[in-house]
Amino acid sequence: MSTTLMMSDLVNESLDDNSSSQPEIIRLENIFKVYGTGETEVKALNNINLVINQGEYCAIMGPSGSGKSTAMNIIGCLDRPTGGSYYLDNVNVADMNDQQLAQIRNLKLGFVFQQFHLLTQLTALENVMLPMVYAGVKPAERKARAVEALIRVGLEKRLHNKPNQLSGGQQQRVAIARAIVNAPVVLLADEPTGALDSRTTQEVLDIFSELNSTGITVIMVTHETEVASQTKRIVWFRDGEVVHSHLTPEELHHLVSG
Amino acid sequence: MNFVETLQMAGKTLLANKLRTALTMLGIIIGNSSVIVMVGLGEGGQRYVAQQLNSLGPNVLFVIPGNEETQRVSRDVIKTLVYADAEAIETQVPTIKATAAELNSRQVVTYKNKNTNINIIGTTPNFLKVRNFEVATGRFFNDLDMKRSNQVVVIGSKLKQKMFGNQNPISQQIKIKNSSFQIIGVLTEKGSNLGVDYDSSALVPIMTSANRIVGKTSPYGLEVTYITVSAQDADSVDAAKFQITNLLRRRHKLVGENDFTIRTQKDALQIVGQISNALSLMLVGIAGISLFVGGIGIMNIMLVSVTERTQEIGLRKAIGATQQDILLQFIIEAIIVSVIGGLAGTGIGIGGLGLISSLGIIDASTSLSSIFMTVGISGAIGLFFGVFPARRAAQLDPIVALRSA
């Protein structure tokens, strides 16, 4: 990779960068995440600034230990930053308590994990209904919305199957249905294709693209270039810092091959 | 997330892990069934004793020779009560209904080639009235039999069965200590009480007993084993006790301690009640320990369950479960396990009591209140021992939980 490209990118990264007309949905301001103290202190995130606008389809990449997972956990409100401000949908969530964060995760965020994390004793439908149970949605409405979400991921014929009766790709689609059922502002996916073969990977990515085309913001952590190149924007992490915040798939290709 | 849904969710989880759930319940089932059985046995025992005492006859007082001290230290049979004392009580104490003196001894009884060693009770016709006995066939001896020292005998139902089978024993002659006695009646079955099996005993007129069987005479008159007195009603028992005490003290010209003891059913009931209460308490204590151990079992398996389900907990938190949601879920699981285990244990306990009763060991049964109590207690145990694992679960860090693949 060329040094100039990197430098120019760093310079370009500014919080006033509002090239898109869409409202911003995620704003990380001077985020630090420090583990340990004194000599054993490790800065997992070192002064991160990042803005993601509504409707973006964004991949977070970077080598192991670059801080991308830590950043994802903070964006997902599963973890709190040591310092800095995090505005999710224009609300500062950095100082919220556990209960408030649980509510944010429930209503504003949708999670998709590498290991699917479906509850084995529940059917696909019941798994998708689960976030609405915690949201206090009325039972009748829950079912209708869960069915709708499962139709969106093409599983209308698998409503009453348990996870062990579904293929890996189908399980991940159930997980996606679960993630979108509460109409979140952001869909977060942590290595969503890591446990899938290439054919089902494409199925899942097609669903993400389709969801993104209907306006859902999608942020995905991945280490697979082919996966990342299907998104519209790539954020590159290294050593706890954002080194590229607006790579296009073509630039990513240059970066990786260069 | 409301309570009913948490309940449904917990039920589903428990059903999905049937073996684990069953093992967790086992401790509570054992604990609870033993509580029910122990309490049932205790209550059955109390009832049994109360029944025994009531079957002695209503409002009965026993006048026994010797006071508590002499009863304890004396090696010989104490001889301070005589037949005349009984007659005096009968005629001079206003609050009593009837009096019957008893002169008891163990003797060999022979009929044809059968013989048996039984209790021979020498008494008066009042015995039936005082002790609440009835004659099944034939008649009881009367005043005339007494006056003439007739060699007549009334036998208990078991003795009749043993010696005569289904034959009619009336008018048959049996030998008691080598004297011939004519059987004139058979008592109705009463069961044994206070260690005396009246059904296997034979009753003869007290004078006949003194003259022909025991052969005791003293300078003071006919010594008796004890005197039974029935008071007019429950309220006059204490008055009768007081009056009899005064009368006997006067008759025996006592200045110091009494040389006799009066026991009432109430005293006996009280003593028995104290003993059986202490016994029940001990049994409940033992059962309580097993319930406690059951609770520890719940806690252990739930802690394992929390570890096993770390990912599930992490996922639930990631999709919006609060700490309270998780806490509630695990506590409710613990309560369901312990309450269902409690109910199952109660069922098994009641079944066990039924078995014990049907085997005729003791008529043991349990009351509704103790069932509610044990089920309540097991629920509380589930709550108490469920809190610690549930807190562990609730406080799990979702990131750590999700990554513990």
Mutation target for B interface from A105, A133, A176: give the one with most B CBs within 10 A: A133
Q: Which of A122, A130, A136 is the closest to B319 by Cβ?
A: A130
Q: Which two tokens stand for residue B63?
A: 């006048």
How many Å apart are CA B261 and CA B263, to the nearest integer? 6
Q: Which range of residues forms the domain containing residue A205?
A: 55-78+98-257
Q: CA angle at residue B123 from B120 to B125, to 5 degrees?
A: 130
Residue A105 and residue B317: Cβ atoms within 8 Å? yes
Instruction: Give a three-class secondary structure readout of A198-234.
Output: HHHHHHHHHHHHHHHHCCCEEEEECCCHHHHCCCCEE
Q: What is the amino acid identity at position B47?
A: R
Instruction: Please give the pLDDT value at position A8.
Output: 43
| Contact yes or no for B321 and A102 at CB 8 A | yes
> What is each CA distance from A49 to A9, A46, A239, A240, B75, in whole angstroms?
13, 9, 14, 11, 104
pLDDT 10s digits, B122-140: 999 999 888 888 898 999 9
Which parts of B195-309 fold into alpha helices (H)?
Answer: 206-208, 237-251, 265-308
Distance CA B308, CA B317 (A): 16
> Are B121 and B225 contacting, i.e. CB atoms less than 8 angstroms apart?
no
Contact B150, B144 (CB under 8 A): yes
Assess A106–B contact: CB distance below 8 Å, yes or no: yes
Closest CA to B341 of B12, B86, B3, B33: B33
pLDDT category of residue A34 using cuts at 50, 70 and 90: very high
For residues A245 and A90, what is the distance between their CA atoms, to the nearest angstrom?
Answer: 20
> What is the total count of domains within chain A?
1
Residue B382 has a pLDDT of 85
| Residue B80 binned pLDDT confidence (cut-offs 50, 70, 90) | confident
Residues comprising chain B, all counted: 405
Across the range B184-198, mean pLDDT stands at 78
Test A111 with B321 for CB contact under 8 angstroms.
no
CA pair distance B255, A40, nearest whole angstrom: 96
What residues does B173 pair with on adjacent strands? B182
Tokens for A258? 């260069």
pLDDT at residue A167 in the model: 92
Mean pLDDT of B361-375: 79
A154: left (phi over 0), alpha (psi -120 to 50) or beta: left
* Cα separation values, A8 from A11, A16, A240, Å: 5, 16, 19
pLDDT classification of A5: cutoffs 50, 70, 90: very low
**What is residue B71's predicted lDDT score, i.e. its pLDDT?**
65
Angstrom distance (rounded) from CA B364 to CA B378: 22
pLDDT of residue A232 exceeding 60, the answer is yes
**Structure tokens given for B121:** 């009770």
**Tokens found for residue B395:** 């406080």
The answer to whether the Cβ–Cβ distance between A102 and B323 falls below 8 Å is: yes
Q: Is residue A132 part of a domain?
A: yes
Interface of A with B in 122-161 (CB under 8 A): 122, 130-131, 133-136
Average pLDDT over residues B353-369: 80
> Residue A190 and residue A237: Cα distance in Å, rounded?
15
Top residue of B18, B21, B319 to mutate, by most chain A CBs within 10 Å, is: B319
Residues of A in contact with B398 (CB under 8 A): 78
Interfacial B residues in 315-374 facing A (CB < 8 Å): 315-325
**Lookup: tokens for A202:** 């494409």
Distances (CA, A) of B403 to A69, B336, B396: 11, 30, 12
Q: Which chain B residues are closer than 8 Å to A119 by Cβ?
A: 312, 315
For residue A89, being part of any structural domain is answered with no
Query: Touching check for A102 and chain B: CB below 8 Å?
Result: yes
SS in 3 state form for B344-371? HHHHHHHHHHHHHHHCCCCCCCCCHHHH
Instruction: Check pLDDT > 90 for residue B264.
Output: no
Q: Which residue has the higher pLDDT, B98 or B234?
A: B98
* Closest Cα in chain A to B16: A121
For the segment A76-131, what is each residue's pLDDT rounded down to a tens digit?
998 889 999 999 999 999 878 989 999 999 999 999 999 899 998 889 999 999 99
Signed CA dihedral, B176, B182, B183, B184: sign only: negative
**Neighboring chain B residues of A185 at a CB cutoff of 8 Å:** none
Question: Which residues of A are less than 8 Å from B15 in CB distance?
Answer: 121
Position A44 in a domain: no
Closest C-alpha to B99, from B124, B82, B65: B124
ipTM summary value: 0.87
A84/B281: higher pLDDT: A84
Q: Judge residue A134's burial from the number of C-beta atoms within 10 Å of its C-beta, 0-12 exposed, 13-18 middle, 19 or more buried.
A: buried
Ranking A15-29, A214-228, B126-140 by mean pLDDT, the lowest is A15-29
Chains A and B form CB pairs within 8 A to the count of: 70
Report A:199-228 residues touching B (Cβ under 8 A). none
DSSP assigned state of B75: S
CA distances from B269 to B47, B65, B131, B263, B272 (A): 11, 21, 17, 10, 5
- The number of residues making up chain A comes to 258
Q: Could you tell me if B399 lies within 8 Å of chain A, comparing CB atoms?
A: yes
Res A3: pLDDT = 44
CATH number for A215: 3.40.50.300
Residue A231 lies in a domain: yes
Q: How far apart, in whole angstroms, are the C-alpha atoms of residue A58 and residue A245?
A: 10
Cβ(B346)–Cβ(B36) under 8 Å? yes
Measured between CA atoms, the residue of chain B closest to residue A131 is B319
Q: Is A108 on the interface with B (CB under 8 A)?
A: no
pLDDT of residue B372: 85
Q: Which of B312, B315, B319 sits opposite A106 (nearest CB)?
A: B319
Is the Cβ of B2 closer than 8 Å to some Cβ of chain A? yes
CB B224 within 8 A of CB B82: yes
What is the C-alpha separation between B377 and B32, in angstroms, rounded?
Answer: 9
| Per-residue pLDDT reduced to its tens digit, B299-316 | 888 888 888 888 889 999
**What pTM does this model have?**
0.70
Q: Is residue A93 within 8 Å of A87, Cβ to Cβ?
A: yes
Contact B106, B197 (CB under 8 A): no
Residue at A251 is within a domain: yes
The mean of the pLDDT values for chain B is: 85
Q: What percent of chain B has pLDDT over 70?
A: 93
Tokens 């520890």 correspond to what residue? B296
Does A70 lie at the interface with B, CB-CB under 8 angstroms? Answer: no
Measured in angstroms, the CA of A35 and the nearest CA of chain B are apart by 14
Please indicate, yes or no, if residue A14 is contained in any of the structural domains.
Answer: no
Looking at residue A1, its pLDDT comes to 42
B277-280 long-range CB contacts below 8 Å, 24 or more apart? B279/B42, B279/B45, B280/B38, B280/B39, B280/B42, B280/B43, B280/B46
Question: What torsion do the CA atoms of A208, A213, A214, A218 make, to the nearest 10 degrees?
Answer: 40
Determine, for residues A102 and B315 on separate chains, whether the beta-carbon distance falls below 8 Å: no
Buried b (16+ CB within 10 A) or exposed e, B201-230: bbbbbbbbbbbbbbeeeeeeebbbbbbbbb
Quick check: helix, strand or coil at residue B397? coil
Q: Is residue A87 part of a domain?
A: no
Contact B310, B404 (CB under 8 A): yes
DSSP A195: T
Could you tell me the pLDDT band of residue B10, with boundaries at 50, 70 and 90? confident
* Three-state DSSP class for residue A248: coil
Question: Which of A103, A113, A136 faces B402 most closely, judged by CB atoms?
Answer: A113
What span, in angstroms and rounded, lies between the C-alpha atoms of B245 and B258?
A: 8
Average pLDDT over residues B24-45: 84
Closest approach of chain A CAs to the CA of B393, in angstroms?
14
On whether any CB of chain A is under 8 Å from the CB of B13, the answer is yes
Q: CB B311 to CB A115 under 8 A?
A: yes
If you average pLDDT over every residue of chain A, what do you get? Answer: 88
With a cut of 70, say whether residue B78 has pLDDT above it. no
> What is the per-residue pLDDT across B244-257, written as a single tens digit (0 to 9) for each?
999 999 888 888 88
Question: Does residue A90 lie in a domain region?
Answer: no
Higher pLDDT, B10 or B362: B10
- How far off is chain A from B302, nearest CA to CA, in Å? 18
